[in-house]
Amino acid sequence: MASFGAVNYKFFLCLLLWLWNFLPLSQGNQHWHENRYPFIRNASSFSSPSISTTTSNNAYDYIIVGGGTAGCPLAATLSQNFSVLVLERGGVPFTNPNVSFLENFHITLADISPTSASQYFISTDGVYNSRARVLGGGSSINAGFYTRANPRFIKKVGWDAKLVNESYPWVEKQIVHRPKFSPYQRAFRDSLLDSGVSPFNGFTYDHLYGTKVGGTIFDRFGRRHTAAELLASGNHDKLTVLVCATVQKIVFDRKGKRPKAVGVIFQDEHGKQHEAILSNDKHSEVIMSSGAIGTPQLLMLSGIGPKAELQKLSIPVVLDNHFVGKGMVDNPMNTMFVPSNRPVNQSLIETVGITKMGVYIEASSGFSQSNDSIHCHHGIMSAEIGQLSTIPPKERSPEAVQEFIKNKKDIPVELFKGGFILSKVANPWSVGELRLNNTNVNDNPVVTFNYFSHPYDLHRCVKGIRLAIKVVQSKHFTNYTLCDKKTTEELLNLTVKANVNFIPKHPNDTASIAQFCKDTVITIWHYHGGCHVGKVVSPDYKVLGVDRLRVVDGSTFDESPGTNPQATVMMMGRYMGLKILRHRLGKLAGI
């Protein structure tokens, strides 16, 4: 009886944990997030005032365009003292299981429907990518890895190190966890050390040369905690978050010497337009936090950008600034397939090798454990939109994409039993740009990253792939996977054939590592730039040449901080919120 009672107790405890973990995310428990976030509403609930009838009751001290990785912590912080309106074009992450569970990570990226949390775009390079369309931004669709920036980055951008070190923990205490550390990641860690990526720095958020285990925004149950949860720490009485609110443009008062932002026009989920107005105070601001794609795009749609480009689309020019959209950079990534003769559990990024040669080495595993998983549409991770970089632009036809689909269906399940080693080039020197495609904010702009256009990036990619090969050939991996040690050409050939980003085979892609880099380049979603400091914004991120308009997001970066940027982008939201409050209120800010 005692044994039976113990079993029942364990079963009951597991059931409670399951209910706690899963039920809040079900559609049937909608009130869960409504009770915790009563300030989140659909955009159609907004009552638009006219400028002539604006009062202190229907105007806002701050309007934040984009409830993403930076926008959420920024809003939570500013709302401590001032009225804040957040306008997010996507929905909430809380009731979307594809967003909220680690096991569905690839399904989120696979969803390319108009209402998906992940909006795919293809750069002119032929590489498919993703931008977030959901409250929480990139933290709602990424691989979850959390690691701080290199102190050199903090010094380079001119941030107050003391305030930075107060802002990171504010994020970490609320949504960051220690990973479970899977057997695959353990084999990867030991292989990195065996390959000379040392010392082992253990579990740490800090950016240190060698091998380390970082944080994750997935808890021990595999549930994602996004930047949207940081909103809970805001002042509920002063914070309004509208979802499905797509900002069309920023509204300016142009009667004075300099254009002045006075509000924004946005569209709700039913297509109705609304106008949100700033309070009549010189400190009130519209703050752009729409990311490296959305922010420069919306600035140009609002009339701030290269005059000639704006005039081609009949956009009234508010400010001629040819730097808007320039300096776009994406960190190129290449993968190395690791076959396995044993079942591999799913893991996202937990361990990273930080090298002094300018590449970061990471690992993931277990995304194809069923026939359905392998042969379904995987969005940017699938053959359907294979990178096409070896096909001339004019030949990238729907027929070519359909050929990829056909090829993928013929790939045997066994080829996908294993994982991947990822090699990312840090701080690439290859630079591109962003231009408007049309005047529809819902459509992606035209983006070019010019991967490997600078020879130094290709040189480092070759070094990274050689290191990845060394890691895969390590005894720690062969002992774990129960596979024989494979030659370099065999590994490259396996990767070309079995990589989920299925790409046409180039005659030299297994003979030349440089050609392999070019043929198998993909993204790791760390694109940045378009609104650089000194060119589009000032050191305190105010848009140059206009008043009451600021940018707080990764579009201001000229490099991606740390190995993975989300920690620093969230910290930036908190940091800039504190800076703005302290500048405006001094000691009265109270924080």
Which runs of E-coded beta strand occur in 156-219?
Answer: 200-203, 210-213, 215-216
Active-site position among 207, 225, 274, 526 = 526
Q: Is 89 annotated as a binding residue?
A: yes
Cα 203-428-161 angle, rounded to 5 deg:
50
Question: Is 91 annotated in some ligand binding site?
Answer: no
What the block records as the tokens of 273 is: 């337009």
> Which strand ranges, in their side-by-side order, compose the sheet holding 326-328?
326-328, 432-435, 446-448
Q: Give the separation between CA 252 and CA 285, rounded to whole angstroms.
A: 11
**Do the beta carbons of residue 213 and residue 181 sit within 8 Å?**
yes
Helix (H) or strand (E) holding 408: helix 398-409
51 touches 248 (CB < 8 A): no
Question: Residue type at 448?
Answer: T
Which phi and psi angles does 268 have, rounded to 5°?
A: -90, -175
Q: Is 85 exposed, middle or buried (0-12, 13-18, 19+ CB in 10 A)?
A: buried
- Residue 134 marked ligand-binding: yes
Is the CB of residue 102 less than 8 Å from the CB of residue 221? Answer: no
The 10 Å Cβ neighbour count of residue 314 is: 7
> Is 31 assigned a ligand-binding role in the annotation?
no
Tally of CB atoms within 10 A around 562: 25
Among this protein's residues, is 526 annotated catalytic?
A: yes
Residue 515 in marked binding region: no
The torsion of the CA quartet 381, 382, 384, 390, rounded to 10 degrees, works out to 80
Q: How far is residue 66's CA from residue 134's CA, in Å, rounded to a whole number?
A: 9
| CA 130/CA 522 separation, integer angstroms | 11
Tell me whether residue 88 is annotated as binding. yes
554 is in an annotated binding site: yes
Q: Please check whether residue 547 is in contact with residue 260, taking contact to mean a CB–CB distance below 8 angstroms.
A: yes
Binding-site annotation: residue ranges for FAD: 88-89, 134, 247, 525-526, 554, 565-566
Annotated catalytic residues are: 526
Binding region? 88-89, 134, 247, 525-526, 554, 565-566
